[in-house]
Amino acid sequence: MNNNSTTSEFLKMTSISDGIAVNTDIYGNNRAGRSFKSVLFRWKRSVYQLIWKHLLIYAIVYVLLSILYQFILNEDGKKNFRVLAEHCTGYSRSLNIMIVLGFFTSTTMQRLFNMQITIPGTSKSITMFILSLKPDLPEGPLIIEQYARWQILSWVLTFRLVSKPLSKIYPDLASLQSAGLLTQEERDILEKPEFTNPNTPRPLAVIDWILLLLKETFLKSRYFAEINYMRNVDVVMAYKKSCGNTIKFATQNISPALIQAVILAVYGFGCITLMARNFSKEDAPLSNALISYIPLMPGLQFFIYFAWLCFGRAAVDPFGDDEDDINVKQLVQSHIEDSIRLKDLYNRQLRDLFPNLVCHSSNVL
């Protein structure tokens, strides 16, 4: 195995998401928060897109019940219907679903915000490693190549555990290998029980290699100062903890029973409001028809509750396929590009970029 093949395989990594446009429409995103009109009438990533199906079913059932009452039921049936409707109306007003949802959604969101801040990144440890090495080591670029690839590898192995879209792209080690993130040799080691305990979570195994590489770099005196060894270990340990927290976020998550209870509550409430009607005593056919066949207000009520539920649930699992989720695929891509860019830090001199910059020559004077 020679250097070139490693490099070329590594460069292959960039290929997976060539088709994805990296330039997110940031302004379209948060600017929209400002002008009321533009935000109300957009469809992409809108709340309408999210819940129009539920609302449609709701409206249809509502109208069907109205038809049932007015055209199908006889006098006795109508009486029964009215009694049930009154019963439902009473409960629909005493149930405080909104409080349940408010606490549920704000709890999950704050959890998500905390997680976003502490998500692990590979850029710090790679930069630190590169800048810790003695300059002009002949083997420097190779070691950095190795180090950066293992960092990316451990990152991908970690997020494969928590993000379904990523686990589809990289279902097994073979896919990682063909993406250039893993060599055949490394794959063998990960798969052979005499090297790696099959119980060991794979990201940890790779982080062990990184630590061994740091140790080797120390033993071969490749750091420009001895203290850099322990500094790099610190950074890698912080990265490891951060990976662990991400996995914890996904595994010790909000209990499914809680999500179940909230969904049930909202669906139950939706069913109650379908029946909850007031029958006016006044004889106003037009209004009564409007109220019976155009469920604007119960629909609005259900819309608010259901939308709130959706946001809470999206916050529970932020690594999914939804448009509002954290785009893990793009994140992988940018980590890879980052690592390629950062590797240049080792060999590149400032004068390579800025040949006629004053501060180079001034030392000569």
Per CB under 8 A, contacts with a second copy among 14-43 are 22, 24, 26-27, 29-34, 36, 39-40, 42
Per CB under 8 A, contacts with a second copy among 48-107 are 48-50, 76, 79-84, 86-88, 90-100, 102-103, 105-107
Does residue 184 belong to the site contacting a second copy (CB under 8 A)?
no
Shortest distance (Å) from residue 127 CB to a second copy: 6
**What gap in Å lies between CA 294 and CA 299, rounded to an integer?**
9
Identity of residue 353:
L
The interface mask with a second copy, positions 123-152, x = CB under 8 A, is xx--xx--xx--x--xx--xx--x------
Work out which of 13, 152, 214, 274 binds a second copy, going by CB under 8 A: 214
| H/E stretch holding 350 | helix 350-353
Phi, psi dihedral angles at 206 (to 5 degrees): -70, -40
Work out the angle between the directed axes of helices 296-316 and 256-275 (0-180°, nearest 10): 180
Shortest distance (Å) from residue 359 CB to a second copy: 5
Does residue 339 belong to the site contacting a second copy (CB under 8 A)?
no
**What gap in Å lies between CA 49 and CA 29, rounded to an integer?**
16
Using an 8 Å Cβ cutoff, are 269 and 97 in contact?
Answer: yes
Using an 8 Å Cβ cutoff, are 135 and 295 in contact?
Answer: no
Work out the angle between the directed axes of helices 202-219 and 140-162 (0-180°, nearest 10): 160
Per CB under 8 A, contacts with a second copy among 106-125 are 106-107, 109-111, 113-114, 116-117, 121, 123-124
Using an 8 Å Cβ cutoff, are 122 and 295 in contact?
Answer: no
Shortest distance (Å) from residue 86 CB to a second copy: 6
Cβ neighbours of residue 191 closer than 8 Å, sequence gap 6 or more: 173
Does residue 193 belong to the site contacting a second copy (CB under 8 A)?
no
Q: Which is nearer to a second copy, 133 or 179 (CB)?
A: 133
Shortest distance (Å) from residue 323 CB to a second copy: 9
- Point out which residues pair with 223 in neighbouring strands: 133
Work out which of 8, 171, 290, 293 binds a second copy, going by CB under 8 A: 290
Does residue 9 belong to the site contacting a second copy (CB under 8 A)?
no
Q: Which is nearer to a second copy, 91 or 175 (CB)?
A: 91
User: Which structure tokens are listed for 299?
Assistant: 């629909």
Q: Which is nearer to a second copy, 72 or 98 (CB)?
A: 98
